[in-house]
Structure 1
Amino acid sequence: MSEALTLLRQPEWRVMDQSSLGPQFPAIQSFAIDDTLCESVGSGNSAAVARAWVHEKTVVLGIQDVRLPYLEKGLTYLTEQGYQYIVRTSGGLAVLLDSGVLNLTLIFPETEKSIDINRGYDAMYQLIKMMFADVTDKIEAYEIVGSYCPGSYDLSIDGKKFAGISQRRVKRGVAVQIYLCVTGSGSERAAIIREFYEQSIQEEETKTAYPKIKPEVMASLSELLNINLTVDNTMMRFLQVLQKLSNKPLITSQLYDFEVPKYDHYYERVVERNEKWLPL
């Protein structure tokens, strides 16, 4: 059994489904929730967590994006297009979320043995392959040049990226996060991020190498698989695979009572960081 599959076979999975909360669920809450759950899982006060979340029209910036020379112009453009924006706590660069993008977080405990960063990425990659094994065997993991937030674990089919993975570690809890472009136009999403960077850079030289985005290298799973895929039926695939991997029935929950004060603490930290980093 591969190390990634061993990581996925947790004794128990706690599931938090926040995929249908709608516009009243801002993205800034998600990163505080994941940090809270990392602490609970890392301290042994919670089983491993699988969380699903969807946010309306939001661009999530990476820490490097706040160094863009004309960031205010880029943020003004996003606002004009009807997008909110926040800076996340995990790595990477700008990504676009909307109602057709399903985000998944797997949170593992680092117990006796630390979890190598690639092992965490491999676990999410294997999970996504298992979720869609009945319709494709073409999902690959390598950097898609010209995509937004490029990385060595971009997930693609026939060279077109539909997902990206990041990681966050808090108090011996490891959160592996992925955004899955399920429905809609991947190239239209990429065109918005391309224009954001063009507005934010204005052809000035930058120390950070920001991606030269080619919208044609990005697509949604619906476009790539040509099947009737929705966020809801993708969630069903996610839950079915988790259940196969678990020895026990899935535990469904929101935050436990003892986690609420921790969430308040992490939420304040995310808000403070955003107030510090963002000019608008």
Structure 2
Amino acid sequence: MTTVAAEGLGPVEDLAFARVLLDSVKAGRRGATLRMYRPAPTLAFGARDRFLPGFATAIEAARDHGFTPALRSLGGRVAAYHPGSLVIDHIEPSDSFITNTNARFTGFGEDYVEVLRGLGIDARLGEIPGEYCPGEHSVNVAGRIKAIGTAQRVVSG
């Protein structure tokens, strides 16, 4: 796996670079890639978010609070990033991109839990009541605080 170590590039540029990496892996120009970075304050909207009522108001509120609104081609709903966040883009080709979705979510979640436990954190896999963007593959701390939300954008490659 290739690692890409870079400072955050800027809100729009970070999202665009994630797409470049995905397209490069999909086209076979690079193998599995892992990129981690600390983002600038960004409110990253998913493509479907722009059709929701209140989208323009959300963009204005983001700017009012020091976040750059941006539209991302990868991911689902809106996500807020800030310098206290760590964004992990794990991209790898797969022949079984249509199947094995649950296994991928579980595997990555278990990997994150293992790493955090190795750091002495009481990490657990599973949804906690009231979490944003709930999911059974969320990683939490002590069953109280959501630490990691996972998402997939799967393409052939």
Q: Into which bin does the TM-score normalised by the smaller protein fall?
A: 0.7 to 0.9
CA contact (8 A) 2:125 2:138 kept: yes
Structure 1 counterpart of 2:40, one-letter code: E
What TM-score, normalized to structure 1? 0.49
| C-alpha distance in structure 2 between counterparts of 1:107 and 1:87, whole Å | 20
Map 1:58-69 onto structure 2 (within 5 A): 58-69=42-53
The aligned length equals: 155
- Per-residue CA deviations over 1:90-121 (Å, capped at 9, x if unaligned) read 3332221111111011111114x446212222
Structure of higher RCO (CA pairs closer than 8 Å, 6+ residues apart): 1
Higher alpha-carbon Rg: 1
Percent identity between the two aligned chains: 22
| C-alpha distance in structure 2 between counterparts of 1:63 and 1:142, whole Å | 26
Q: 2:34 maps to what in 1?
A: 50
Q: 2:100 maps to what in 1?
A: 116
Map 1:3-18 onto structure 2 (within 5 A): 13-18=1-6
| C-alpha distance in structure 2 between counterparts of 1:60 and 1:142, whole Å | 24
| C-alpha distance in structure 2 between counterparts of 1:97 and 1:137, whole Å | 22
CA contact (8 A) 1:17 1:52 kept: yes
* Structure 1: unaligned runs, 5 residues or longer: 1-12, 174-280
| C-alpha distance in structure 1 between counterparts of 2:27 and 2:54, whole Å | 42
Map 1:224-263 onto structure 2 (within 5 A): none
User: Which of 149, 153, 175 in structure 1 is aligned with 2:137?
Assistant: 153
- TM-fit CA distance, 1:26: 2.2
CA contact (8 A) 1:144 1:161 kept: yes
User: Which of 54, 65, 88 in structure 1 is aligned with 2:72?
Assistant: 88
1:164 corresponds to 2:149: yes
Name the CA shift for 1:136/1:101 in 2 (closer, same or farther; >3 Å). same
Choose between structure 1 and 2: higher helix proportion: 1
| C-alpha distance in structure 2 between counterparts of 1:88 and 1:139, whole Å | 29
CA contact (8 A) 1:27 1:58 kept: yes
- TM-fit CA distance, 1:50: 0.7
| C-alpha distance in structure 2 between counterparts of 1:39 and 1:63, whole Å | 18
Structure 1 counterpart of 2:2, one-letter code: R
Structure 1 counterpart of 2:77, one-letter code: L
SS of residue matched to 2:118: coil
- TM-fit CA distance, 1:137: 6.5
CA contact (8 A) 1:48 1:108 kept: yes
What TM-score, normalized to structure 2? 0.82
Q: 1:102 maps to what in 2?
A: 86
- TM-fit CA distance, 1:87: 2.1
| C-alpha distance in structure 1 between counterparts of 2:128 and 2:48, whole Å | 19
Q: 1:144 maps to what in 2?
A: 128
Provide the alpha-carbon RMSD of the alignment.
2.3
